[in-house]
């Protein structure tokens, strides 16, 4: 029988010593080391993001004049359309303010939009997170809502000096109050484990028994003002079917999310103008 070589056990012994040392280490030191490691990595992520922006800039400079002229015309059409939308939005906001004053309703919570570039994605079965290029330098708070043009992206879970980590709506750790667009009763949205292939999905629970969904007429799931972090009416996804849940009292179903959610390049962080204690939108 060949003799057991002790030098082959050195990596295992070193790993065991490290795990024991980490286990007995005070939580304060663990937190300090974690933050220090993140701050050490952040500059490389930010520099890589800026290099990609520069690469894209020079790639666009190679386009012909005809392509640039056509892009300018399209941009002018879009600008005219959005100017009209902005004017309509101002008139609607004025009407809402007038009705609130007549009915003595409390004013809605206002936010400012902080647009940030995505510098890193951590997309696996259990971890569904992205890192953006703004942090405490732009006064981004933990717990803030993150959105894009088609609705909810996720929630800020960690803020560092120059970066922030966002937990996506697809993450199993993400949970928020929601409602169907055609029904005002609250339900619960929950992220699920992603397969890594195909479309992004979530789940909806505690839906009333009288709500009916089918593939021909899917129901739109939107955010609600119950939690306060997300403004009401933001799109979460669509529900094509509902079935009795584990309790038999409510229904549950799968939520189909926007396919662009896992390939975003820019997102908007909603920063409250009148800061309150942010929560996790759990009813």
- 247-268: pLDDT as tens digits: 778 999 999 999 888 888 899 9
Distance CA 152, CA 202 (A): 12
Mean pLDDT across the stretch 3-9? 60
Domain boundary among 61, 93, 114: 61
Examine residue 31 and state whether it is found in any structural domain, yes or no.
yes
Label residue 126 exposed, middle or buried (CB < 10 Å: 0-12, 13-18, 19+).
exposed
The CATH number linked to 246 is: 2.40.10.350
Examine residue 52 and state whether it is found in any structural domain, yes or no.
yes
Domain boundary among 61, 87, 114: 61
Confidence at 275, pLDDT banded by 50, 70, 90: low
166 with 229: CB under 8 angstroms? no
Examine residue 152 and state whether it is found in any structural domain, yes or no.
no
Examine residue 33 and state whether it is found in any structural domain, yes or no.
yes
Distance CA 9, CA 5 (A): 8
In this model, does residue 35 exceed pLDDT 90?
no
pLDDT of residue 132: 93
Examine residue 89 and state whether it is found in any structural domain, yes or no.
no
Confidence at 203, pLDDT banded by 50, 70, 90: very high
Examine residue 85 and state whether it is found in any structural domain, yes or no.
no
Examine residue 163 and state whether it is found in any structural domain, yes or no.
no
Write the DSSP symbol of residue 109.
P
Domain boundary among 8, 42, 61: 61
Ranges of beta strands (E only) in 19-150 are 111-123, 128-132, 145-148
- Residues paired with 27 in a beta bridge: none
Distance CA 100, CA 90 (A): 15
Q: What is the percent of the chain where pLDDT is above 90?
A: 29
In this model, does residue 83 exceed pLDDT 50?
yes
In total, how many domains does the chain have? 2
In this model, does residue 1 exceed pLDDT 50?
no
Examine residue 116 and state whether it is found in any structural domain, yes or no.
no
Other Cβ atoms less than 10 A from the Cβ of 241: the count is 14
Q: Tell me which residue range forms the domain holding 233.
A: 175-258
Confidence at 283, pLDDT banded by 50, 70, 90: very low
Highest mean pLDDT among 17-31, 47-61, 177-191 belongs to 177-191
């Amino acid at each position: 029988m060949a003799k057991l070589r002790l030098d082959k056990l050195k990596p295992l012994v070193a790993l065991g010593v490290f795990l024991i040392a980490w286990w007995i280490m005070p939580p304060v030191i663990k937190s300090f080391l974690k933050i220090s490691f993140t701050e050490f990595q952040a500059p490389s992520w930010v520099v890589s993001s800026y290099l990609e922006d520069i690469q894209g800039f020079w790639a666009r400079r190679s386009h012909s004049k005809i392509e640039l002229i056509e892009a300018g015309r399209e941009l002018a059409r879009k600008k005219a359309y959005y100017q009209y939308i902005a004017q309509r939005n101002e008139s609607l906001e004025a009407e809402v303010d007038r009705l609130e004053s007549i009915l003595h309703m409390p004013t809605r919570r206002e936010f400012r939009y902080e647009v940030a570039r995505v510098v890193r994605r951590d997309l696996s079965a259990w971890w569904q997170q992205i890192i953006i290029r703004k942090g405490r330098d732009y006064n981004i708070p933990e717990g803030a809502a993150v959105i894009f043009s088609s609705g909810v992206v996720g929630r800020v879970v960690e803020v560092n000096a120059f970066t922030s980590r966002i937990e996506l709506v697809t993450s199993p750790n993400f949970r928020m109050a929601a409602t169907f667009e055609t029904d005002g009763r609250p339900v619960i949205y929950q992220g699920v484990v992603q397969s890594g292939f195909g479309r992004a999905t979530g789940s909806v629970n505690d839906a009333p028994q009288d709500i009916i969904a089918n593939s021909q007429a899917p129901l739109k799931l939107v955010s609600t003002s119950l939690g306060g972090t997300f403004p009401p009416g933001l799109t979460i996804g669509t529900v094509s079917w509902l079935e009795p849940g584990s309790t038999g009292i409510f229904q549950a179903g799968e939520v189909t999310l926007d396919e662009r959610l896992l390939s975003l390049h820019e997102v908007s962080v909603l920063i409250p103008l009148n800061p309150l204690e942010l929560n996790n939108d759990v009813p």
